Chains A and B, each alone.
Chain A
Amino acid sequence: MMTWAMRLLALAGTTAFLAAVALTMIDIALRSVGTGTVPGVVDLVQVCVMIGAMLAIPYGFASDQHVAIDLFTDQMPRKVQVWLRILAALLGCVFLAGVFWFSLQQAMVEYAGGDRSQTIGIPMIWYWVPFLAGIALSALATLFVALDLIRHGLPGGPHAAESST
Chain B
Amino acid sequence: MSSAAIGLAGVISLLVLIALRVPVAIAMGIVGIVGGVAINGWFSLGFVLGSQPFVTVFPYTLSVIPLFVLMGAFAARAGLSASLFSSLHALIGHWRGGLASATVGACALFGSVCGSSLATAATMARVAIPEMRAVGYDDRLTAGSVAAGGTLGILIPPSIIMVIYAIMTEQSIGRMFLAGLIPGCLAAGLYMLAVYLVARLRPGSAPRAPRLGTAERIRAIREMAPVLVLFVAVMGSIYFGIASPTEAAAVGAFGAIVLAAMRGRLTIEVIRESLMETAVTTGMIFMILVGTSVLQFFIETSTLPQLLLEWIRSLNMPPIGVLVLILMVYVVLGCFLDSLSMLLITLPIFFPLVTSLGYDPIWFGILVTSVAEIGLITPPVGMNLFVIASVSGSIRFETAAVGVVPFLMADFVRVVLLVAFPAITLLLPRLLMG
Residues of A within 8 A of B (CB): 7, 10-11, 13-15, 17-18, 20-21, 24-25, 27-28, 42, 45-46, 48-50, 52-61, 63, 65-73, 81, 84-85, 87-88, 91-92, 94-95, 98-99, 101-103, 105-106, 127-128, 131, 135, 138
Residue of B53, B63, B283 touching A56 (CB-CB under 8 A): B283
Q: Which chain B residues lie closer than 8 Å to A92 at the CB level?
A: 22-23, 26
- Please, which residue of chain B has its CB at the minimum distance from the CB of A54? B286
| B49 within 8 Å of A (CB atoms) | yes
Report, as a range, how many residues of chain B touch the other chain. Answer: 35 or more
Interface contact tally, CB-CB below 8 A: 193
Please determine whether A7 and B250 come into contact, CB atoms closer than 8 angstroms: no
Please determine whether A94 and B30 come into contact, CB atoms closer than 8 angstroms: yes
Please determine whether B58 and A72 come into contact, CB atoms closer than 8 angstroms: no
Known: A14-B275, A49-B62, A53-B283. A69 touches B53 (CB 8 A): no
Please determine whether A68 and B50 come into contact, CB atoms closer than 8 angstroms: no
Known: A46-B58, A50-B57, A52-B282. A84 touches B276 (CB 8 A): no
- CA–CA, A81 and B243, complex, Å: 49
Tell me the smallest distance from the CB of B78 to a CB of chain A, in Å. Answer: 15
Residues of B within 8 A of A (CB): 17-27, 29-30, 33, 45-46, 48-51, 53-54, 57-58, 60, 62-63, 66-67, 70, 243, 246-247, 250-251, 253-254, 257, 272, 275-276, 278-280, 282-284, 286-288, 290-291, 294, 336-338, 340-341, 380-381
Q: Which chain B residues lie closer than 8 Å to A63 at the CB level?
A: 280
- CA–CA, A57 and B22, complex, Å: 16
Q: Which chain A residues lie closer than 8 Å to B22 at the CB level?
A: 68, 87-88, 91-92
Please determine whether B380 and A60 come into contact, CB atoms closer than 8 angstroms: no
- Please, which residue of chain B has its CB at the minimum distance from the CB of A101? B49
B interface secondary structure, majority: helix
Residue of B29, B283, B338 touching A60 (CB-CB under 8 A): B283
Please determine whether A17 and B21 come into contact, CB atoms closer than 8 angstroms: no
Instruction: Pull 23 A–B residue pairs with CB atoms less than 8 Å apart, ordered by A.
Output: A17-B253, A28-B247, A48-B63, A53-B57, A53-B282, A54-B57, A54-B286, A56-B286, A57-B286, A58-B283, A66-B23, A66-B24, A66-B25, A67-B24, A68-B18, A68-B22, A69-B18, A71-B381, A73-B19, A88-B26, A95-B33, A98-B33, A106-B54
